[in-house]
């Protein structure tokens, strides 16, 4: 429970949100169903999917760095 309130937990949550939404954007049926709305919580998912697809190299490198930090650093 305390990991949610730390910066590490917030970064992990953000990376997982971006990666998950970018993956869901690649599935055609889910793209029209989930990511077509651009307001509210689905709008946040749409924006995270756009970030994940446009900055896929930076997101994947940051995921690798965060995984190394969580496994080795903590």
pLDDT digits over 9-63, tens only?
Answer: 888 899 999 999 898 888 888 777 776 777 888 888 888 988 998 999 999 999 9
Residue 1 counted as domain residue: no
Residue 61 counted as domain residue: yes
- Residue 49 belongs to domain spanning: 7-73
How many Å apart are CA 45 and CA 28, to the nearest integer? 15
Q: How many domains does the chain have?
A: 1
Residue 36 counted as domain residue: yes
Burial (0-12, 13-18, 19+ Cβ within 10 Å), 22: buried
Residue 15 counted as domain residue: yes
pLDDT band per the 50, 70, 90 thresholds, residue 73: confident
Residue 6: predicted pLDDT: 82
Residue 2 counted as domain residue: no
**Does residue 64 have a pLDDT over 90?**
yes
């Amino acid at each position: 429970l305390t990991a949610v309130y730390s910066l590490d937990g917030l970064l992990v949550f953000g990376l997982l949100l971006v990666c998950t939404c970018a993956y869901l954007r690649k599935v055609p049926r889910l793209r029209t169903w989930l990511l077509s709305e651009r307001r509210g919580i689905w709008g946040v998912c749409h924006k995270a999917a756009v970030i994940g697809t446009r900055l896929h190299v930076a997101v994947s490198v940051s995921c690798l760095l965060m995984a190394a930090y969580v496994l080795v650093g903590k």
